[in-house]
Structure 1
Amino acid sequence: MEESEILRLNVGGHIYTTTRSTLVRYPDSMLGVMFKGDIPSKVDQDGNFFIDRDGQMFRYILNFCRSGKLCLPQHFSDYDLLENEADFYQIQPLITSIISSRQQKDNMEAHYIDIVEVKTQNVFDYKDENISSDEYFTSTSVYGSILDLRTLPLGAVDRFLETRPGSNYGKLVINGRFTKIRMSEMLSSRGWIKENCDSSSSSNVTTDSVFMTQTLRETWKNGKKTGLQTMEESEILRLNVGGHIYTTTRSTLVRYPDSMLGVMFKGDIPSRVDQDGNFFIDRDGQMFRYILNFCRSGKLCLPQHFSDYDLLENEADFYQIEPLITSLTSSRQHAMKENLEVHYIEIVEVRTGTTATMPSKNSRVKTILLGRKEDLLSLPSTLVGEEAAERLECKNGSNYVELEIFGSNVRIQLADFLSNSGWVNENSDLSSSSSLTKGQDTSILCIEQSYRDRWKIYKQK
């Protein structure tokens, strides 16, 4: 076999052209063993060497064999799938490079700074009949994390810095011309990259003048398995899934014999073909990529910020691949924990009265709400009172606050509102206590009853 021989490969339906010397660059890898002739190779109907793996990921595998370097796009996120493919091909330097690249990306955190320059100009004065006055007022606001803003060489930064209690972000407000230009030059010299730039304009007509306002915005960014597998000796099939063409083997499709694919391609039910002779499945073609890769490797590999869980679950339910359904449920729960946080509201109703009044409407009722300020502010004023928002806004220093409300049936009305808003009652309990108060002639038994409800909801971080 000549190492300079040019070969064509069909990898999961993607056609690649390369040389044998490139494929055997790492002789102990799967590709090295295959194309040295140590194990037999399958060919498709066009004479291309066939490999039943993900075709898109093979681009990175082949480029690594060509250059010895791992070159990935800037926002690459399919590390799980690429690691899975590299594990199959057993190219150890590639596996090491992928792990290193992933660790570097995990340790990087993108920082952003927004520069907003607002120019206001009086372009026409009705009284003086002056047109196109060159005089204009310029104000520049710089938004970003407090730590990033304080690293800017602006002298007394805190003199311009505006922040909100409990927030890590703030803004600088600086008046004067050319501030945006100076800030842009400063960020560029410090390694920041301009990611976006846009402008808008508006006008305002008063009884005396016409004012033109131009807004310029710039966004700057600163970042900081082992064992060879043998090829399956099985028939090569082409599938048309919702217009997307895939190439695979029958053994891959029947890996889970009780699934819909297993039943279809074992021949238990008739299969439809399109005009080109491809087996046709009228389902979502993009989602089938994840289905087929699971049949190939037994692993669910999703992009880092995958969000189409509803659609993929629907497809997995159709194909009835139980291990995939289980893996998908686990993956979704893990993603939810990473992207969601739990919020709680506690409602404590305290009723105080005597044996003669408990638990009638004559008893004194106080309701105490405990939770995040933002959650309590979202409650309707008809239930918590018109002055509740003002009372809550005065409570600074903590995201968790307490609000007292007087009146009967508040707890029940709040329960109806929270339930209709997606909150779930996690726990409810009742406690009571009594005390004896002595009067001049008689003793009065005072009773206090406390009802406590704990409500929960998941929200995006």
Structure 2
Amino acid sequence: MASSSATELLNLNVGGHFYTTTRATLTRYPDSMLGLMFSAGKAGGQQPARRDDNNRYYIDGDGPTFRHILNYLRRSKLIIPYGFKDWNILAAEADFYQIPDLIRCISERRKGTNQSLLEVQYVYTAGTSIEKRKTNYWWKVCGEPKILDKLSSIVKFEDSYGDDVRIMRKDDMLCLDFTRTQLFGEINKIGFTFISTVSTSSSNANFPGNFDGKDRWIFIKDNSTSMAPPSATEVLHLNVGGHFYTATRATLTRYPDSMLGLMFSKKGKTVVQPPPQDDNNRYYIDGDGPTFRYILNFIRRSKLILPKDYKDWDMLTGEAYFYQIDELITLIGSQKDSSSGELLNLNVGGHFYTANRSTLTRYPKSMLYSMFSKKGKTVVQPPPQDDNNRYYIDRDGPTFRYVLNFLRQSKLILPDGFKDWDLLAAEAEFYKVEDLMKCIGKRRKATKKSVLEVQYIYTGQSVQKAKLDYQWKVTGQAKFLDQLSIKGDDSRTSISWKNKDKISRARLFKEIYEIGFTLMSTVSTSSCNKKSRDRFDGKDRWIFIKDDSN
């Protein structure tokens, strides 16, 4: 039976967003930062987070993103909404909380190489009046053979077309073994999620009183599985003066010219030998164990996080010089006498945030430093407070999230597909954070997207008969087309081929995903053939997009 300590409820304030969970959830990964913060009575554990005015434990992190961190701790599974774009923020926060399994999962998921598509088509001929029953129709399910095989055990398919298309056909809709709702329910059960639908129709050339139509539904599934991490996310175990730590290689080498960067980097010819290993294969560093906690947290977050009334400044300075981290040495000097532990509650345009005073005053020339610093004679008046004693700043609330995260981590972390560059630049200019302004200027120049278009072009006779002539065409930049295994009538900007070999649509889409593209939209069109009235022309198009931002 779980102990009362493990099931104890804890209330958290993460960057102004409030959460409630159990101590057992927060300590599921004992060597993570949360595990060390909230392990009751664990020897060598970190001091728990300090509390705000409502007795909530305060963590100076990105509030909205913590939702995904916490859900991972609860379920040991990364659960994110379709179209999620905040990968950079999520990766940075996972690195801060030091949950190796989550770091690996994010690294794998964000590559976009683990998704499968399933397309359901309902193709029919019907009368022009709404009361008339459809006279002929087909259900088609298109996808990878292994996925279709799973459905075959539940849904009765009457025919197939290649490995990646299965067909259900009934002469009377009322006799269908499965309703549309049941079919979609079975698709959901095998892990697929609905993302888009499109319907098209055109006059039937053979029967003027009838029309041909097609309804299409696109489903997507994430197939992420555990896999060996790359070198950058490799987890290393350290023994620093008898105190044990766990960190990724990427974290320890974040500052390449530091002592740790030289010890643990696998690049270059001038890398020093890694430290010796103890009897438990931990790398041994002959330094002050308790102080290394602050060194490591600085490397993780580019921020010096210290307990209230911290006094071991000389020890911390000495260790920073030993590890040769110039940025940390400079920060220690500026923060030594500051009121770094004080929490401030902000209301920015109706959006609420909580941050350390030291975070808001990180850049001495900024407007926020002038507002909230307690040093100097030229400090401006702090902003007014609202009815709940939050400091009110009359600026754009949602954009302040990115400004605050920059103050916390000294890097610009934005969601995929970010477009509000002008607004972000204006806010950075108002707050007078020069490093942020420079970073925005560089990033927005490098922001660009690539597009791949897939077309399936065909001529048919009637919806129930096989198509008479058709071809595939992929259009995009040559550097992406060269990465596809598909060969055909090539040009520098497109590949086209006749479908004589019944090439797998699933295989084509899988290759497109593997080079970093994501499906953005799909559309179908059809019309009467100009040369022959008993035929019709059709085109299915899929648009894939890739963010090429550096």
Normalising by structure 1, what TM-score? Answer: 0.55
SS at match of 1:339: strand
Contact 1:238 1:278 in 2 (8 A): yes
CA change 1:153–1:299 in 2 (3 A) is: farther
Q: How does 1:326-405 map to 2 (within 5 A)?
A: 326-336=438-448, 338-339=449-450, 398=491
SS in 2 for 1:247: strand
Answering whether residue 365 of structure 2 is matched by residue 263 of structure 1, we say no
Task: Name which of 356, 360, 370 aligns with 1:253.
Answer: 360
Letter in 2 for 1:339: S
Cα–Cα, structure 1 residues 209 and 108, in superposed 2: closer, same or farther, change >3 Å? closer
Residue 73 of structure 1: aligned partner: 80
Counterparts in 2 of 1:110 and 1:257: CA distance versus 1, 3 Å: farther
2:16 — aligned with what? 13
> How far off its partner does 1:285 sit?
0.7
User: In structure 2, what residue type is equivalent to 1:398?
Assistant: S
Map of 2:5 onto structure 1? 3
Residue 281 of structure 1 aligns with which residue? Answer: 393
* Aligned residue identity for 1:242: G
How high is the sequence identity, in percent, across the aligned residues?
34
What SS does the corresponding residue of 2:447 show, helix, strand or coil?
helix
Code of the aligned partner of 1:102: S
- Contact 2:121 / 2:214 at 8 angstroms: preserved in 1? no
Structure 1 residue aligned with 2:230: none
User: Where in structure 2 are there 5+ consecutive unaligned residues?
Assistant: 149-156, 224-250, 253-295, 298-304, 309-339, 453-474, 477-488, 495-545
Name the residue aligned to 1:238: 345
Q: CA deviation at 1:243?
A: 0.6
Letter aligned with residue 230 of structure 1: L
Change (3 A) 1:304 1:178: farther
Note the C-alpha offset of 1:104.
4.2
Q: Give the aligned partner of residue 410 of structure 2.
A: 298
Distance 2:129 2:27 in 1: 72
Distance 1:39 1:190 in 2: 44
Counterpart for residue 437 of structure 2: 325
CA apart distance, 1:182: 11
Pairing 1:38-57 to 2, within 5 Å after superposition: 38-39=46-47, 41-57=49-65
Residue among 123, 129, 149 paired with 1:117: 123
Q: For residues 403-418 of structure 1, what are the structure 2 equivalents within 5 Å?
A: none
User: Does residue 99 of structure 1 match 2:104?
Assistant: yes
When residues 112 and 239 of structure 1 are mapped into structure 2, their CA distance, relative to the original with a 3 A threshold, is same
**Residue type of the partner of 2:416?**
Q
- Verify: 1:313 aligned to 2:389, yes or no: no
> What's the offset of the Cα at 1:65?
4.5
* 1:218 paired residue number: 217
One-letter identity of the residue aligned with 1:3: S
SS of equivalent residue, structure 1 residue 84 = helix
SS in 2 for 1:72: coil
3-state DSSP of counterpart to 1:7: strand
Give CA deviations for 1:126-183 in whole Å, capped at 9, x if unaligned. Answer: xxxxx96x684558899999xx99xx9966769xxxxxxxxxxxxx9x9986699899
Q: Aligned in 2, Cα 1:329/1:179: closer, same or farther, shift over 3 Å? A: farther
Aligned equivalents of 2:364 and 2:87: distance in 1? 29
Aligned pairs, number: 326
Q: Aligned-pair distance for 1:221?
A: 3.7
The CA deviation string for residues 23-64 of structure 1, in whole angstroms up to 9 with x for no partner, is 455554433444457537422112222222122233344445
Cα drift, residue 261 of structure 1:
1.4
* Superimposed CA distance per residue, residues 67-114 of structure 1 (whole angstroms, 9 cap, x where no aligned partner): 6x143225344332223223323x3xx233322343145222453536
- Compare the two structures and name the one with the higher strand fraction: 1
Q: Could you tell me whether the CA contact under 8 Å between 1:140 and 1:175 is conserved in 2? A: yes
8 Å contact 1:235–1:249 — kept in the other structure?
yes
Displacement after TM superposition at 1:251 (Å): 0.9
- Which structure: larger Rg? 1
**Using a 3 Å threshold, how does the CA distance of structure 1 residues 30 and 122 change in structure 2: closer, same or farther?**
closer
Q: Secondary structure at the match of 2:55?
A: coil
CA contact (8 A) 2:78 2:102 kept: no
Aligned-pair CA distance for 1:301: 1.8
Specify every segment of 5 or more residues in structure 1 that has no aligned partner in the other structure, as ranges: 125-130, 159-171, 342-372, 375-395, 402-458
Higher relative contact order, chain-length normalized (CA < 8 Å, sep 6+) = 2
Q: Separation in 1 of the partners of 2:492 and 2:104? A: 39
Q: How much has 1:241 moved relative to structure 2?
A: 0.7
Alignment correspondent of 1:84: 92
1:10 Cα offset (Å): 1.7
